[in-house]
Structure 1
Amino acid sequence: MSFYTELLITVLLVIGGVFLLVGSIGLARLPDIFTRLHGPTKATTLGITGILLSSLIYQTITQSRFSVSELLITLFLLITAPVAANMIAKTALHRDNPAIPRTTGQSLMSKIRTRQPADAQEED
């Protein structure tokens, strides 16, 4: 294996590991469920994508054929992570989980819970 291939694999592993670490810290440290969703859906998905791409490159070179399994796992994660985050956010909304006070759009959350359109006029 050439030096540049090893360097590319190493860089992808390090970048993936850093994103996984940041996503995990965000999941543990952020204050409410709505902000905690950003850790696993954005940073962690990007981190695991970097690690799977490095595995794909390594397996392709060592086996002398294209490795499809890593590519399929990456595509599956990139497709399902946003859908899962959307479902978790909807569940948190309908279970009346409170957002932190500085969250913008608090009035939109109440409209969503009562299934009103976002541009509906406030009734006084």
Structure 2
Amino acid sequence: MTGFGEIAISVFLVIGGSFGLIGSYGLLKLRDPMQRLHAPTKATTIGVGSVLIASALDTLLVTGHATWQEILVSVFLFITAPLSALYLAKAHIMKTVDRSTLPPTATAAPWAELRRAPKD
């Protein structure tokens, strides 16, 4: 393994660990649940993504060929982290926010209404 490869792997591991530490600190210290939601989603996407890049680089430099597992895990994380944050935020809004204080939606439907088929 080359010195440049080891430095690159180390940089990605430090970035991943830093984001994990900052994300967990933000999860503990932020007051509002909506603020608290932001910290772990960034830690997941950037922190774990950096660790996966370091793992892929290590495998590439040691064995000489890349593996596809790190790429699949990265794609899965980048797709699911924003979606899970969206659904958690929506559940928080539905549970805690008074609908009469929300601004108008500019449509005929009210906020977060699930349109169901009429019962026969």
> What TM-score bracket applies, with the shorter chain setting the length?
0.7 to 0.9
Q: Which moved more, 1:61-70 or 1:47-56?
A: 61-70
Q: Distance in 1 between the 2:24 and 2:92 partners? A: 20
Runs of 4+ displaced beyond 4 Å? none
Q: Distance in 2 between the 1:36 and 1:119 partners? A: 31
Tell me the C-alpha RMSD between the 2 structures.
2.4
Q: Distance in 2 between the 1:118 and 1:94 partners? A: 19
TM-score, structure 2 normalization? 0.80
Equivalent in the alignment of 1:92: 92
For 1:16-55, what aligned pairs fall within 5 Å after superposition? 16-55=16-55
Equivalent in the alignment of 2:64: 64
Matched residue of 2:102: which SS?
Answer: helix
Deviation at 1:110, TM superposition (A): 3.5
TM-score, structure 1 normalization? 0.78
Structure 2 residue ranges without an equivalent (≥5): 109-120
TM-aligned CA distance change 1:26 to 1:118, over 3 Å? farther
Q: Distance in 2 between the 1:44 and 1:77 partners? A: 7
Equivalent in the alignment of 2:73: 73
Structure 1 residue ranges without an equivalent (≥5): 98-106
TM-aligned CA distance change 1:19 to 1:118, over 3 Å? farther
Number of residue pairs the alignment of both structures matches: 108
Equivalent in the alignment of 1:100: none
Contact 2:5–2:61 under 8 Å retained in 1 = no
TM-aligned CA distance change 1:3 to 1:59, over 3 Å? same
- Percent of aligned positions with the same letter in both sequences? 39
